[in-house]
Amino acid sequence: MITFITGGIKSGKTKFGLKIGQKYQKKVYIATAEPFDEEMKKKIDLHRAERSGCWETIEDPINLDDAVKRSIEFDFVMIDCITVWLNNLLYHQKDLNEYIDRFIISLKDMKNDVVIISNEIGMGVIPLEKTTREYLNLLGITNQNIADISDKVVFMVSGYPLFLKGELNNEL
């Protein structure tokens, strides 16, 4: 089962995903962040501390499909986050369509429970700068594609989940 969690910055997405993963014994966290600056280094350290020692970690800022394939032995997979991953693809000048397609295909083959985290950044003003608008559109379309293949879609607001697709059963 794939659960897609989206929402604004600091809306509780990662915390909610980690909460879902608590009931699993064999779980892995796929991290996409690269420590480009001090602020990102601190954020990565904070996320590591949140997971405690009961999570395995796969760090792959580019080849998310490979990371998904390497996670097949786990009962639960959490991918955090699509927003940063797309930024990495742009920064490293990768073929966006190829990498996104490979990631979506890898998800369709998953037999374990998966949580995917992504930001919802399209609810504000339209940016003046063209590159920023293109990124916003790319993330919005990618989020839609992930939501389409997900069993559940959750929108986080101020730490509370709103179920947009599927419903809360025994996740927590």
Is 92 a residue of the active site? no
- The residue to which tokens 């350290």 are assigned: 45
At position 161, the amino acid (one-letter code) is P
Which CATH number goes with the domain that contains 113?
3.40.50.300
Q: What is the extent of the structural domain holding 102?
A: 1-6+74-165
Rounded to whole angstroms, how far apart are CA atoms 9 and 102? 26
The structure's pTM equals: 0.91
In a domain, 116, yes or no: yes
Structure tokens at 152: 């559940």
Rounded to whole angstroms, how far apart are CA atoms 88 and 68? 17
* Catalytic position from the list 47, 70, 102, 165: 47
Structure tokens at 128: 């003046």
Number of continuous H segments (helices) and E segments (strands) in the chain:
6, 7
Task: State residue 3's pLDDT score.
Answer: 97
Task: State residue 53's pLDDT score.
Answer: 78
In a domain, 86, yes or no: yes
User: 147 among the known binding-site residues?
Assistant: no
Q: Other C-beta atoms within 10 Å of 40: how many?
A: 13
In a domain, 83, yes or no: yes
Task: State residue 170's pLDDT score.
Answer: 56
User: 133 among the known binding-site residues?
Assistant: no
Task: State residue 69's pLDDT score.
Answer: 94
In a domain, 96, yes or no: yes
Task: State residue 171's pLDDT score.
Answer: 58
User: Which runs of consecutive H residues, i.e. helices, occur in 13-127?
Assistant: 13-21, 38-51, 64-70, 82-91, 96-108
What is the number of structural domains in the chain?
1
Task: State residue 172's pLDDT score.
Answer: 57
Task: State residue 169's pLDDT score.
Answer: 64
User: 59 among the known binding-site residues?
Assistant: yes
Rounded to whole angstroms, how far apart are CA atoms 172 and 23? 8
In a domain, 150, yes or no: yes
In a domain, 104, yes or no: yes
Strand partners, 3: 115, 152
In a domain, 156, yes or no: yes
Task: State residue 15's pLDDT score.
Answer: 93
User: 70 among the known binding-site residues?
Assistant: no
In a domain, 18, yes or no: no
Q: Other C-beta atoms within 10 Å of 146: how many?
A: 21
In the chain (172 residues long), the average pLDDT of successive 10-residue segments reads: 95 94 94 86 80 87 96 95 95 95 92 96 84 92 96 96 83 58
